[in-house]
């Protein structure tokens, strides 16, 4: 029978992740300062912010690794502080550092994950095979992971995160250190996971990655959300056309709502200037005053 709580949860499913007035302090450092953020089910969400903005702290709280000082966080309606085990079942995590068992094969790594999540041996076998083929590792399923390339290890980490059919997948800088071709292949895989229904939350320092993949982006700075919207909306908000003016003290960036305005601005300028379309990096820089890796 469907309980009142299940009905309530179904009703709330429009928001897969709810973060309300979240605070976290490490001694003198305020990592999160009253963060509010709702992420709709089915989104491909990108969390961006300068170094130290609080992104990892958010992900650690969402994945039940860190306890918040105050505030409320739910994943698919489950409170990560009050119901951490239940909340954990909703989540698949792909951490930044490779934490596979190097001596074991790909298949064995998946098997152990399934056991830890209380899956039956039959389900582990079934899901394990499905996941190995989903990430294209079925041919080398029995090879020890220590022989895998960086890209293969990442794919295996993704397969492992998906083993227990989570509704939300967290990926912390999933393509860091990978070459361009491998990165693009991973993007395709992530898109497929999202198309199959999982909500994705990704942190990345590659702005073009967020622009290519995410339907919604949140920019965090000093532990607060300072911008939220689709990459296109955020670009429209600061101005879709950029003029880069070569000034004596460096490049000055000016935003315009259309090319006509930008061109007439250039005509009035002394010295050289360049006109181009704005991108998410410009939005980031304009809002935070910093480049992504500063
Ligand atoms: P990056 O992009 O560099 O990974 P981030 O946005 O993920 O940064 P967090 O790692 O969440 O930022 O850190 C937010 C702030 O909290 C930073 O000032 C960081 O130094 C501080 N911090 C994080 N974890 C701890 C900890 N365990 N002890 C003390 N300070 C911490």
pLDDT of residue 5: 52
15: left (phi over 0), alpha (psi -120 to 50) or beta: beta
pLDDT of residue 6: 53
Please indicate whether residue 210, judged by its CB atom, sits closer than 6 Å to ligand 1: no
Domains and CATH numbers, the chain: 4-230 (3.40.50.300), 234-288 (no CATH)
Mutation probe of ligand 1 site: the residue of 19, 55, 69 with most atoms within 8 A of C-beta? 55
pLDDT of residue 294: 44
pLDDT of residue 51: 87
pLDDT of residue 173: 87
Residue ranges in 120-179 assigned as alpha helix (H): 121-134, 150-162
Secondary structure (DSSP) of 219-231: EEETTEEEEEE-H
Mutation probe of ligand 1 site: the residue of 24, 57, 294 with most atoms within 8 A of C-beta? 57
Please indicate whether residue 60, judged by its CB atom, sits closer than 6 Å to ligand 1: no
Please indicate whether residue 51, judged by its CB atom, sits closer than 6 Å to ligand 1: yes
155-205 confidence digits (pLDDT tens)? 999 999 999 999 999 998 888 888 888 888 889 989 999 999 999 999 988
- Classify residue 294 by burial, with Cβ atoms within 10 Å: 0-12, 13-18, 19+: exposed
Residue pLDDT tens, the chain, 294 long: 445 455 445 544 479 999 999 999 999 999 999 999 999 999 999 999 888 889 999 999 999 999 999 999 999 999 999 999 999 999 999 988 899 999 999 999 999 999 999 999 999 999 999 999 989 999 999 999 999 999 999 999 999 999 999 999 999 888 888 888 888 888 998 999 999 999 999 998 888 899 999 999 999 998 999 999 999 999 998 899 999 988 888 888 889 999 999 998 888 887 788 999 999 888 888 888 765 554
pLDDT of residue 41: 95
Residue nearest to atom 27 of ligand 1 (CA): 26
pLDDT of residue 185: 86
244-258 confidence digits (pLDDT tens)? 988 888 888 889 999
pLDDT of residue 252: 85
Task: Using the mean position of ligand 1's atoms as its centre, give its distance from the Cα of residue 54 in Å.
Answer: 6
Which backbone phi and psi does 74 adopt, to 5 degrees?
-125, 145
Please indicate whether residue 49, judged by its CB atom, sits closer than 6 Å to ligand 1: yes
- Per the CB < 8 A criterion, the answer to whether 46 and 214 are in contact is yes
Please indicate whether residue 52, judged by its CB atom, sits closer than 6 Å to ligand 1: yes
Please indicate whether residue 22, judged by its CB atom, sits closer than 6 Å to ligand 1: no
Task: Using the mean position of ligand 1's atoms as its centre, give its distance from the Cα of residue 27 in Å.
Answer: 12
Which positions ≥6 away from 233 have C-beta within 8 Å?
Answer: none
Residue nearest to atom 16 of ligand 1 (CA): 31
Q: How far apart are CA 203 and CA 148, in angstroms?
A: 24
Please indicate whether residue 204, judged by its CB atom, sits closer than 6 Å to ligand 1: no
Residue 57 alpha carbon, nearest atom of ligand 1: 11
Give the count of alpha carbons within 13 A of 91, CB side only. 29
Residue nearest to atom 25 of ligand 1 (CA): 26
DSSP three-state, residue 250:
strand
């Amino acid at each position: 029978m469907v309980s009142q709580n299940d009905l309530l949860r179904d009703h709330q499913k429009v928001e897969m992740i709810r973060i309300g007035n979240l605070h976290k302090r490490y001694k003198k450092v305020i990592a999160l300062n009253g963060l509010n953020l709702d992420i709709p089910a089915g989104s491909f969400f990108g969390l961006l912010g300068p170094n130290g903005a609080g992104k990892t702290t958010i992900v650690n709280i969402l994945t039940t690794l860190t306890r918040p000082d105050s505030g409320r966080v739910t994943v698919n309606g489950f409170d990560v502080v009050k119901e951490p085990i239940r909340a954990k079942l909703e989540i698949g995590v792909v951490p930044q550092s490779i934490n596979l068992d190097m001596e074991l094969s790909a298949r064995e790594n998946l098997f152990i994950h399934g056991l830890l999540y209380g899956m039956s041996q039959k389900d582990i076998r079934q899901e394990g095979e499905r996941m190995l083929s989903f990430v294209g590792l079925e041919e080398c399923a029995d090879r020890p992971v220590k022989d895998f390339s960086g890209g293969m290890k990442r794919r295996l980490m993704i397969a492992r995160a998906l083993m227990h059919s989570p509704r939300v997948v967290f990926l912390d800088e999933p393509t860091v250190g990978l070459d361009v071709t491998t990165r693009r292949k991973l993007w395709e895989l992530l898109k497929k996971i999202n198309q199959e229904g999982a909500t994705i939350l990704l942190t990345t320092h590659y702005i073009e990655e967020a622009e290519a993949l995410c339907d919604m982006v949140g920019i965090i700075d000093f532990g607060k959300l300072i911008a939220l919207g689709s990459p296109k909306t955020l670009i429209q908000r600061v101005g879709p056309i950029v003029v880069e003016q070569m000034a004596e003290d460096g490049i000055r960036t000016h935003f315009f709502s259309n090319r006509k305005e930008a061109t007439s601005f250039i005509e009035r300028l002394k010295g050289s200037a360049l006109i181009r379309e704005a991108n998410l990096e410009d939005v980031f820089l304009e809002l935070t005053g910093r480049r992504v890796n500063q």
